[in-house]
Structure 1
Amino acid sequence: MIEYKPAVIADIPRLWALRTRAVRLTCATHYSSEQIDVWSESAVPQSYTQLVVAQCAVLAEEDDQLLGYAILDRQNGEVVAIFVEPHQHGRGIGKQLMRRLEAMAVIEHFTRLHLFSSLNAADFYRAMGFIALREEAYGHPSGISLRSLYMEKTLAGQAR
């Protein structure tokens, strides 16, 4: 059975390793090998530690195996990350992680969520109710620029 729980600092290396596998395997259909190399080799941003400490990250585990994780910046309503182990796609893990971020956002009284979606993940976010507002270059912390979609979602029952 899949368990969803808050991430802790000790989880960060596992989260980053999953993210790196996901970038290498799932983003290659939309980005060049050079971009994938730089993107996947980048170091864990300091913000991950801050967001995990602030209880903004949730992970999915089954039999002590990390299946996915998601992070919401509770200061501004930005979905910072959702990554699912590539061989676990199709099990609804990403949907459950997003629902947990939405619940966090409601607690924080956000009326909308926003994110920068990689091109390969846009269909997932659309299925979750996000609308693409524009395509733009995302300045990745590694120094590369990645084509992305800026997307938003109004939270049900939260619009004023």
Structure 2
Amino acid sequence: MSVKIRAATVDDIDLIFDIRTAVKENHLSKQELTELGITHDVISELITDTTSVWVAEYEQRGCGFAIADQEEGSVFAMFVYPDAENKGIGKALLQKMEQILFEKFSEIWLETDRHSRAFTFYSHQGWHVQEELAQGDVKMLKSKSVE
């Protein structure tokens, strides 16, 4: 079964929040997300004003999402339901974000916890640590391949 990546719509906002609050690693509640300024209105604005939010479907079910910051050239968020992990969903979402970001940038970045499974995942996808940050986080880079 293949993964389908599509642009998110405002109808996906509840799904996006459900996925984000379902993860085990880097878990945040809806209240914590709101305190960080990540609200339904903010996601709605991103969806309607940019092409920066994508949803992954596997077996006709929304099971992951990704948000790219096209102003900064970064991967802002990428999450997959825990029961949908290890099916190529994260890899497909990351490839979509890389494709979009490399249209404008020769080097893209993200931040993650060095001790997370996400760090291992990004490392296997060709991302490299550029800088050590506070509390065990790292800034990772990936350069556009010249073919």
- TM-score over 0.5 for the alignment? yes
CA distance in 2, matches of 1:62, 1:94: 11
Which residue of 2 is the match for residue 3 of structure 1?
4
Which residue of 2 is the match for residue 26 of structure 1?
25
Are the equivalent residues in 2 in contact too, given 1:26–1:86 (CA < 8 A)?
A: no
1:126 aligns with 2:115: no
Are the equivalent residues in 1 in contact too, given 2:102–2:108 (CA < 8 A)?
A: no
Q: What one-letter code is carried by the residue in structure 1 that aligns with 2:130? A: L
Give me the CA root mean square deviation.
Answer: 2.0
- Segments of structure 2 that go 5 or more residues without pairing to the other structure are none
Q: What one-letter code is carried by the residue in structure 2 that aligns with 1:5? A: R
Aligned with 1:135 (options 119, 132, 136): 132
Identity level (%): 26
Q: Deviations over 1:24-62 (max 9, x none)?
A: x234xxxxxxxx5xx334235154333322110111113
Q: Deviations over 1:108-154 (max 9, x none)?
A: x21011111133110011111111122323xxxxxxxx642111111
Q: What one-letter code is carried by the residue in structure 1 that aligns with 2:107? A: R
Q: How many residues align?
A: 137
Shift of 1:8: 1.2
Q: Deviations over 1:79-131 (max 9, x none)?
A: 00111111111111111111111111133x21011111133110011111111
Are the equivalent residues in 2 in contact too, given 1:77–1:114 (CA < 8 A)?
A: yes
CA distance in 2, matches of 1:157, 1:8: 33
Runs of 4+ more than 3 Å apart: none
1:106 aligns with 2:102: yes
- Segments of structure 1 that go 5 or more residues without pairing to the other structure are 28-35, 138-145
- Over 3 Å counting, the alpha-carbon distance change for 1:148 and 1:129 in structure 2 is same
Deviates more, 1:149-158 or 1:118-127: 149-158
